[in-house]
Amino acid sequence: MGHHHDSGGADAAARQRQQASAISDYIACGIEHGCGACVGLELEHFIVRVGDHAHVPYLDDPVTGALGVGSILERLAPFYTEKVYEPQDDGSRRLIGLARDDASLTLEPGAQLEVSISPLWKVADVEAVYRAFRSELDPLLDGLGYEALALGYHPSARAEDVPLIPKERYRLMDRHFRETGRHGACMMRATAATQVSIDYSSEEDAVRKFRVANALGPLFAFVTDNSPVFEGTPVAAARRGVPGADMQGGVPGLPVPERMARTAVWDDVDAGRSMTAPGTFEEGFGFTAYAKAVLDAEAVFTVEEDGTGAARGVAQEGRSFTAAFADRQLGRKEVEHILSLFFFDVRFKTYIEIRVADSLPLEHALAFVALVKGLFYSEEALGMLDARLAGTDAAAIAEAKAALRAKGYGAEVYGRPVPEWLDELLGMAQVSLRRADRAYLEPLARLVAARTTLVDAGPEAPSGSRG
């Protein structure tokens, strides 16, 4: 009896090792396949009606005939080589994504339109791909009386009024997040981000960049704060104590974000898969430790083939990924699925994705890309930051976010005044970037020099509707 039990335990341990090594090997692929010092950009947009900024959902309006974001994708399809469809319960399918060599379009849960630009060496090349995308999108939106806004939080809608797009993944995630934190609905339906991806040359290089990016996350989130409205109320009004500007807005338990509203939302979605990845600052952290952390977490759902061979999401009702995949090997598809269900401030794929910035107008998004490039691809800057941030941990990061939300430029972070930090970060990037890339830092440098952020200008600030 005992012998049989031991053997089962040994089998389970072996399977766990196989799962962890499948994930860590996948992350390690980035060492060979990254371009060395490229940057990738993902920028999410709200499609809204011109004038009142009313939300444009995925589906066409059955009463007025107004086109939805799904129909906009259909009209953009001729510019792309690949279409991505989601099968529906009635046997039909819906277009939810487009792709070509230099970029892909995907939809976030509330029909936010995300453009993902393949990793490129020069910031100017990133700009060129984005402008090409806007040259196709904007004339189409103009004809419909719509515009694409780059903001961290929806400019007019309350999250609960925004319908999810017809994608099973999002329905299953929505159900999960309603049990794990107060802000799942807000995060899925009403936030939009700027995400920047960077390469690594070894596991040691990856871990160092990952830790530095996590530690700098609160400062990055602060300097890219672009959420002037939260659940229909101007954040600045709440900050100034304007009577009646409480941010509850009929949604019980939502806090008043002083600033960095999108960050506040993400930090109260699911402690097991947002904020700082477990173990990031512990000794021995690396690809295997990250793999084990995600395998131990709740699976939310897995993708299984049904009787017809179609892929279907199956809710895992609290089981971990280790348990959910106990009886099979993890292939590339399963690994990508697992990694995609974690939303840490910084996460691993075959690159490091820095996810803390709000959706930004193009010139500010490119400035953030340049800042990240200047800090993480300079051995001198990275080494200096690594030394300066030694001893940082998840608790210190949470404290830094709270201080920045409460005091802005008047806060101290990791024992130093915020202006000192930001001046230094921009200075480091200016020194390390080539001249052509350095010029892109200017919009962020202007904000920092004025000790202000985009959100301080309030809801009427430019939001990049024209890129």
Measure the CA–CA gap between 80 and 50, rounded to whole angstroms.
26
End-to-end CA distance of the chain: 68
* Residue 316 pLDDT class (50, 70, 90 cuts): confident
Residue 52 lies in a domain: yes
* Residue 257 pLDDT class (50, 70, 90 cuts): low
CB 67 within 8 A of CB 216: no
Does residue 255 surpass a pLDDT of 70?
Answer: no
Residue 303 lies in a domain: yes
Q: What is the pLDDT of residue 253?
A: 44
Does residue 11 surpass a pLDDT of 90?
Answer: no
Residue 334 lies in a domain: yes
Let me know if 138 is exposed, middle or buried by CB neighbors in 10 A (0-12, 13-18, 19+).
Answer: middle
More confident residue, 78 or 16: 78
Residue 323 lies in a domain: yes
Residues 6+ apart with CB under 8 A from 387: none
Residues 71-99, mean pLDDT to the nearest whole number: 96
Q: What is the pLDDT of residue 99?
A: 98
Residue 444 lies in a domain: yes
Q: Which two tokens stand for residue 5?
A: 């039990």
Q: What is the pLDDT of residues 192-239, one digit of tens each?
A: 999 999 999 999 999 999 999 999 999 999 999 999 998 888 886 555
Q: What is the pLDDT of residues 104-163, one digit of tens each?
A: 999 999 999 999 999 999 999 999 999 999 999 999 999 999 999 999 999 999 999 999
Q: What is the pLDDT of residue 240?
A: 55
Q: What is the pLDDT of residues 346-363, one digit of tens each?
A: 999 999 999 999 999 999
% of the chain surpassing 90 pLDDT: 74
Q: What is the pLDDT of residue 91?
A: 87
Q: What is the pLDDT of residue 463?
A: 57
Q: Which two tokens stand for residue 396?
A: 């210190």
Q: What is the pLDDT of residues 410-430, one digit of tens each?
A: 999 999 999 999 999 999 999
Residue 462 lies in a domain: no
Q: Which two tokens stand for residue 303?
A: 């993708």
Residues 424-438, mean pLDDT to the nearest whole number: 98
Q: 13, 27, 43: which is closest to 465 by C-alpha?
A: 43
Mean pLDDT, rounded, of the chain: 90
* Residue 303 pLDDT class (50, 70, 90 cuts): confident
Residue 439 lies in a domain: yes
Residue 357 lies in a domain: yes
Q: What is the 3-state secondary structure (H, E, C) of the chain?
A: CHHHHHHHHHHHHHHHHHHHHHHHHHHHHHHHHCCCCCEEEEEEEEEEECCCCCECCCCCCCCCCCCCHHHHHHHHHHHCCEEEEEECCCCCEEEEEEECCCEEEEECCCCCEEEEEEEECCHHHHHHHHHHHHHHHHHHHHHHCEEEECCCECCCCCHHHCCCCCCHHHHHHHHHHHHHCCCHHHHHHHECEEEEEECCCCHHHHHHHHHHHHHHHHHHHHHCCCCCEECCEEHHHHHCCCCCCCCCCCCCCCCCCCCCHHHHHHCCCCCCCCCCCCCCCCCCCCHHHHHHHHHHCECCEEEEECCCCCEEEEECCCCEHHHHCCCCCCCHHHHHHHHHCCCCCEEECCCEEEEEEECCCHHHHHHHHHHHHHHHCCHHHHHHHHHHCCCCCHHHHHHHHHHHHHHHHHCEECCEEHHHHHHHHHHHHHHHCCHHHHHHHHHHHHHHHCCCCHHHHCCCCCCCCCC
Q: What is the pLDDT of residue 239?
A: 56
Q: What is the pLDDT of residue 8?
A: 55
Measure the CA–CA gap between 170 and 451, rounded to whole angstroms.
38
CATH of the domain at 204: 3.30.590.20
Q: Please count the structural domains in the chain.
A: 1
For 430, the domain range is 2-457
Q: What is the pLDDT of residue 304?
A: 78
Q: Which two tokens stand for residue 47?
A: 């499609």
* Residue 327 pLDDT class (50, 70, 90 cuts): confident
